[in-house]
């Protein structure tokens, strides 16, 4: 089990939510509970659940990945639906490039890419552009969003994905913690990575315009539900009173 406390995992998401709402965050001394406080004193319990890899650390509108080798690598995503497979292949590609002294997978010798099916897929489908910099060493890999190949994916497929996300074990644990709180509001904040099961919905949150067209079919017992994809500039908020809204809190 991770030694990172639940509260430390929640502090950054709570600050994002508080920034959107224009309120402040309070952490009780020695406790794992986060509370947001409205200007009129109204209290809002806060709990976060991460769906996907915790190594996908958000930095503004992008991500940091651990460095697989020595060089500084920049990954510019073209097809965000391929993020899970790219995440697995990237260390192989980066190490192969560093060993061959080339900055891009497309510059690898053909014999190398043909011998490794994952490298062949990466070079010929180009789900992302990878560039290594041998002059900058031992820095985390930066992952940013590039221009996509496809038109605006819309938001219609987000609703079914929300039902899937709400059934995940990290969400059930967060809801259990929220249900023990006695506050006027309960905020559930979902940090959403890309998985094969919900890749299309993840793409919609990252690249789509507008907001989901309907409230969650499986409504959790909370007053507010946040959807925060690990890529892109937007977070989405649903409340029982106001429905869906969209914000861009990242500098």
Determine how many CB atoms are found less than 10 A away from the CB of residue 10. 25
Give phi and psi for 37, each to the nearest 5. -120, 120
pLDDT, averaged across the chain: 89
| pLDDT at residue 60 is higher than 70 | no
For residue 2, the model assigns a pLDDT of 33
Same domain membership, residue 231 and residue 154: yes
61 occurs within a structural domain: no
Cα Rg of the chain, angstroms: 20
- Of the candidate ranges 99-103, 130-134, 217-221, the one whose mean pLDDT is the lowest: 217-221
Same domain for 243 and 206 = yes
Cα 228 to Cα 30, 50, 108, 250: the distances in Å are: 27, 10, 36, 11
Segment 228-234 shows an average pLDDT of 92
Residue 62 covered by a domain:
no
Task: Provide the domain count of the chain.
Answer: 2
The model's pTM: 0.88
117 with 233, same domain? Answer: no
Place of tokens 């976060």: 48
Q: What band does 32 get if pLDDT is binned at 50, 70 and 90?
A: low
Taking residues 29-49, report their average pLDDT. Answer: 85
User: Are residues 164 and 237 located together in one domain of the fold?
Assistant: yes
Higher pLDDT, 55 or 232: 232
163-198: pLDDT as tens digits: 999 999 999 999 999 999 999 999 999 999 988 889
State how far the Cα of 225 lies from the Cα of 240, in Å rounded to an integer. 9
Which of 94, 116, 139 is the endpoint of a domain? Answer: 139
Residue 232 to residue 203: CA distance in whole angstroms: 10
Answer yes or no: do 127 and 172 share one domain: no
Asked whether residue 11 is assigned to any structural domain, the reply reads: yes
120 and 157 both lie in a single domain: no
Q: Which residue has the tokens 């249900």?
A: 179
Q: Verify that 118 and 242 share a domain, yes or no.
A: no
CA 243 to the chain's CA centroid: 22
User: Residue 31: which pLDDT band, with cuts at 50, 70 and 90?
Assistant: low
* Overall average pLDDT of the 93-117 stretch: 97
Identify the pLDDT of residue 222: 95
Of residues 63 and 237, more confidently modeled: 237
Hey, which bits of the chain come out as E strands?
Answer: 24-27, 34-37, 43-51, 57-59, 62-65, 71-77, 128-137, 141-145, 185-192, 224-229, 235-239, 243-247
Decide: helix, strand or coil at residue 137: strand
Q: How confident is the model at residue 71 (pLDDT cuts 50, 70, 90)?
A: very high
Residue 127 lies in a domain: yes
* Residue 5 pLDDT grade (very low, low, confident, very high; cuts 50, 70, 90): very low
Q: Mark whether 104 and 130 lie in a shared domain.
A: yes
> Tens digit of pLDDT for each residue in 202-214?
999 999 999 999 9
Q: Which residue has the higher pLDDT, 238 or 6?
A: 238
CA atoms within 13 A on the CB side of 206: 29
- The answer for residues whose C-beta is within 8 angstroms of residue 169's C-beta and 6 or more apart is none
* Residue 183 within a domain: yes
Boundaries of domain holding 165: 6-54+150-247
Domain assignment present for residue 59? The answer is: no
């Amino acid at each position: 089990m991770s030694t990172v406390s639940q509260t430390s995992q929640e502090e950054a998401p709570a600050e994002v939510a508080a920034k959107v709402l224009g309120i402040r965050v309070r952490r009780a001394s020695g406790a794992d509970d986060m509370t947001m406080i409205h200007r009129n004193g109204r209290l809002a319990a806060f709990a976060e659940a991460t769906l996907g890899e915790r190594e996908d650390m958000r930095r503004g509108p992008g991500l940091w990945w651990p460095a697989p080798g020595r060089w500084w690598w920049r990954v510019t995503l073209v097809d965000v639906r391929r993020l899970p497979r790219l995440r697995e292949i990237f260390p192989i590609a980066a190490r192969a490039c560093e060993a061959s002294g080339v900055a891009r997978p497309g510059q690898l010798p053909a014999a190398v890419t043909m011998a490794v099916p994952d490298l062949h897929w990466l070079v010929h489908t180009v789900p992302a552009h990878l560039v290594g910099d041998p002059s900058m060493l031992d820095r985390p890999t930066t992952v940013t969003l590039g221009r996509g190949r496809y038109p605006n994916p819309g938001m219609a497929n987000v609703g079914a994905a929300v039902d899937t996300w709400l059934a995940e074990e990290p969400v059930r644990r967060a809801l259990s913690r929220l249900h023990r709180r006695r506050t006027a509001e309960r905020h559930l904040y979902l940090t959403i990575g890309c998985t094969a099961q919900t890749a299309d919905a993840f793409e919609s949150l990252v690249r789509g315009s507008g907001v989901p067209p309907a409230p969650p079919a499986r409504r959790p017992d909370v007053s507010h539900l946040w959807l925060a994809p690990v890529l892109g500039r937007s977070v989405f908020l649903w409340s029982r009173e106001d429905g869906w809204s969209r914000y861009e809190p990242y500098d």
